[in-house]
Structure 1
Amino acid sequence: MDKTDKIIVGISIGDLNGIGIEVILKTFQDKRMLDFCTPVLFGATKAISSHKKVLGIDVPVQGINSLNQVNHSKINVLNIWKEDVKIELGTATKVSGEYAARSLASATKHLKEGKVDVLLTAPINKENIQSEEFNFPGHTEYLEANLEGKSLMILMTDELRIGLITGHIPISKVAESITPELIKSKVETMHTSLKQDFGISKPKIAVLGLNPHCGDHGVIGKEDDEVIKPTVDKIAATGKLVFGPYAADGFFGSETYKQFDGVLATYHDQGLAPFKALSFGKGVNFTAGLSKIRTSPDHGTGYDIAGKNVANSSSFKEALFTAIQVFKSRKEYNELTEKPLVVR
């Protein structure tokens, strides 16, 4: 592969006191990973070196001050700060949140400008990252505000893709938030993503019900009969292969999810609890629907194991491979749809 053709992966390093830098370093311990992409970490070589010393991980990195200095054969660290930063592994601090936000902001800016091809985000702490500049429930909402498109959080493996109709909102707000317009929007985003990002020509999508047993015909709630089912039926009438609502417990218990290319859960834990039970450590968080590609591992900051050199990098590595594959799939899809074949 021509090194100038390699996909440049921008990596925000996450909370400095968590396991983000550890799983990044472990991912690139295998030098063959550099055959697939050119990594650019947004942070500072001092911070990376501090983690390397504590963890005893000897992975060479190259500090750069501009993307013009990228070395396609090495792990690049774009120095976006020069000062010493206090690192307290395993502890959530205001400082670690502040620098996580700075890393993410710089990585997102370079992604938006096309200077990196995809974004891979290490875990943040949603509490200590909050500030006047970052006032969002998480990565997904931040990226939607800074990039074009309407986002859809999808947790995925090769066998299972679960998207969320509602995301980081309180349970008390879920029912009132689920409207026909929102359902249609999320179905459309998932349908488009399955086609352009994963090469599925006729995606088959399941929509889960909100209430236990989908409300038992109004006995346990009316939202499934009055909002979700009529909306799903209207979408299906347009020709899309969309089905539901399905009661979530039976849907996963009977492995019905294996019959679908994508699943839409009505709220966060309805989708993520079964996903992590089935796939924890192997899953990827993919933000569909945006003009740029972003993935992340399916775990958090891991303060309890930070600095102990026991963090598993499998999910981060899968997130890297997913970002690369989605980039290639989207590029191929765009080329095919921009210049459709003409049959004479």
Structure 2
Amino acid sequence: MEKTNKIIVGISLGDANGIGIEIVLKTFLDKRMFDFCTPVLFGSNKVISFHKKALNLNSNVHGIHSLDKIVHGKLNLINISKEEFKIELGKATADGGKFALKSLSSALEALKKNEIDVLLTAPINKDNIQSKEFDFPGHTEYLEENLEGKSLMILMTDELRIGLITGHIPVANIAEAITPELIAKKVAIMEHSLRQDFNISKPKIAVLGLNPHCGDKGVIGKEDDEIIKPTIEKIKETGKLVFGPYAADGFFGSKTYKQFDGVLAMYHDQGLAPFKALSFGNGVNFTAGLNKIRTSPDHGTGFDIAGKNVANITSFEEALFSAIKIFRNRNEFIELESNRLQSK
């Protein structure tokens, strides 16, 4: 492989029956994308060919046998398996899930070996991907299990970053899961990520309340007064700029989120519902807190439009550019921190 400063982006292709392969192929029809990175698809020649024919796309895909044969300026494809995968566009099938997992696990292994610089994941179906190897609610938990660090799911655009205190857990379990230790841990991950990955020297973070109206002084629940507020005050004593809790409805309705570098929601839909209402199709899912960088588009497998050549590539493009920018920011931060420590 020729030497270059190009960032190598490994791409897992998601469910073989969804829109993942479509948005990847359509993104790299624009030759200018190769000025920013070198993409490597973890997939199958036969699966890619099927999608190209179904979508009538003339994408040039360059097959390679090993990752040391990557060619810059090309859309590289490394075959992940000799296994045959039956494709049934628009359907959630066992083969679709097997392909998604094989693509993801192969890309992850390359990421761990530093054979690729960042990981960009196309959407999976959280049901048919389940297996002995993948017994997780989603990408985030799987990556945390296989990489170093503690994860924080952040949904982001240029002006809004929402992290989740609790992730893919049942609503019935949310209140008992929220502890001072968990809040402090997630605040620490977000604060560090904002400094390391986004070049924000003194990040300002908002924490949302759990109950409607933050409990109305205990009338609608005591968690905000007894757990969340004291925890925020204790974190403030360390010098971090952390504020709240804020009632979620008024916080987003009044656009207060624009005053902060990051927002922490107490549970999945509290954060993702307003995020997607404000920016669906343009957002990025970033897994913060881990030793490797992973981003993805903010949408699902799109089974209802698979094979119709109508999938919007905007979110995937944003995920690509975000991964590249975060990679550069993080390397710069690590270098500056190293120089600062050496100078002491």
Q: If the TM-score is normalised by the length of the shorter chain, which range does it land in? A: over 0.9
| Two-structure CA RMSD over aligned residues (Å) | 1.2
Residue deviations 1:156-190, cap 9 Å, x none? 00000000000000000000000000000000000
Paired amino acid for 2:89? L
Paired amino acid for 2:127? E
Query: 1: distance between equivalents of 2:342 and 2:191?
Result: 25
1:200 is aligned to 200
Give the deviation of 1:57 after TM superposition: 1.0
1:301 is aligned to 301
Using structure 1 for the length normalisation, give the TM-score: 0.98
Query: 1: distance between equivalents of 2:3 and 2:15?
Result: 31
Using structure 2 for the length normalisation, give the TM-score: 0.98
- SS of residue in 1 equivalent to 2:340: coil
Query: 1: distance between equivalents of 2:222 and 2:228?
Result: 9
**Aligned: 1:148 with 2:148:** yes
Give the deviation of 1:343 after TM superposition: 8.7
- Conserved in 2, the CA contact under 8 Å of 1:65 and 1:80? no
**Aligned: 1:236 with 2:249:** no
Query: 1: distance between equivalents of 2:341 and 2:216?
Result: 49
CA change 1:247–1:66 in 2 (3 A) is same
Residue deviations 1:190-245, cap 9 Å, x none? 00000000000000000000000000000000000000000001001111000000
Residue deviations 1:21-41, cap 9 Å, x none? 000011101001011101000
Paired amino acid for 2:148? E
Paired amino acid for 1:224? D
Query: 2: distance between equivalents of 1:96 and 1:341?
Result: 48
Give the deviation of 1:65 after TM superposition: 1.4
Residue deviations 1:61-105, cap 9 Å, x none? 011110011111100011011233210000000111011001100
Query: 2: distance between equivalents of 1:52 and 1:84?
Result: 17
1:50 is aligned to 50
2:247 is aligned to 247
Paired amino acid for 1:146? N
Residue deviations 1:257-310, cap 9 Å, x none? 000000000000000000000000000000000000000000000000000000
Flag structure 2 segments of 5+ consecutive residues without an equivalent: none
Percent identity reads 73
CA change 1:342–1:13 in 2 (3 A) is closer
Give the deviation of 1:247 after TM superposition: 0.1
Query: 2: distance between equivalents of 1:75 and 1:117?
Result: 16
Query: 2: distance between equivalents of 1:154 and 1:342?
Result: 32
CA change 1:13–1:216 in 2 (3 A) is same
1:291 is aligned to 291
- Conserved in 2, the CA contact under 8 Å of 1:162 and 1:271? yes
Residue deviations 1:120-143, cap 9 Å, x none? 000000000000111000000000
1:258 is aligned to 258
Query: 2: distance between equivalents of 1:200 and 1:137?
Result: 31
Query: 2: distance between equivalents of 1:245 and 1:59?
Result: 49
Paired amino acid for 2:234? K
2:268 is aligned to 268
1:112 is aligned to 112
- SS of residue in 1 equivalent to 2:17: coil
- SS of residue in 2 equivalent to 1:107: helix
- SS of residue in 1 equivalent to 2:326: helix
Q: Which runs of 4+ in 1 moved over 6 A?
A: 341-344
Query: 1: distance between equivalents of 2:280 and 2:342?
Result: 45
- SS of residue in 1 equivalent to 2:78: strand
Flag structure 1 segments of 5+ consecutive residues without an equivalent: none
Tell me the number of residue pairs that the alignment of Structure 1 and Structure 2 aligns. Answer: 343
